[in-house]
């Protein structure tokens, strides 16, 4: 069974293009270091008819949307190894200024997940 890192990120709608550029680099770097799958998805239908909508959970402003993202690994140990290599990769770290991110990193939700059911 795979191990998954999951992310929820409130992001200004005006910053989606800049975020996509950053995420495209992230995809190349994580996949180059052995991630099995990498997805970054931007909100499209966030008005849930039941349950707690992501927008309410994340307390987004009308000018914001939500990015739902995940990276798949073989195991937690594999995730730890891949992420350690990613954090040292100059393609990801070059010019990365936390103050110039296209979103507020303090509002990002993150967690590692064991797979419960898989197709």
Give the pLDDT of residue 64: 97
Mean pLDDT confidence for 7-36: 96
Is 96 within 8 Å of 30 (Cβ atoms)? no
Give the class (CATH, top level) of 3-114. alpha beta
Q: pLDDT averaged over the chain? A: 93
| Mean pLDDT along residues 1-10 | 96
Query: Given this model, what pLDDT does residue 48 score?
Result: 87
Report the greatest alpha carbon distance in the chain: 43
Strand (E) or helix (H) holding 113: strand 109-114
How many Å separate Cα 24 from the centre of its chain? 11
- Tell me the H-state helices in the chain: 16-32, 54-57, 76-88, 90-93
pLDDT at 95 over 90: no
**pLDDT at 97 > cutoff 90:** no
Residues, the chain? 119
Return the domain boundaries, the chain: 3-114
pTM (2 d.p.): 0.92
Predicted confidence (pLDDT) at residue 98 exceeds the cutoff of 70:
no
Q: What is the pLDDT of residue 25?
A: 92
What gap in Å lies between CA 109 and CA 14, rounded to an integer? 20
pLDDT: which is higher, 99 or 61: 61
């Amino acid at each position: 069974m795979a191990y998954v890192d999951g992310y929820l990120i409130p992001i200004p709608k005006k910053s989606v293009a800049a975020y996509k550029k950053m995420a495209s680099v992230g995809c190349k770097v994580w996949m180059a270091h052995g991630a099995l799958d990498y997805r970054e998805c931007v909100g499209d239908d966030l008005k849930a008819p039941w349950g707690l909508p992501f927008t309410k959970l994340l307390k987004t402003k009308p000018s914001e949307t939500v990015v739902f993202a995940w990276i798949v690994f073989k195991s937690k140990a594999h995730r730890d190894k891949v992420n350690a290599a990613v954090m040292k990769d100059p393609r990801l770290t070059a010019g990365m200024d936390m103050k110039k991110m296209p979103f507020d990193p303090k509002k990002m939700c993150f967690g590692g997940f064991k797979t419960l059911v898989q197709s």
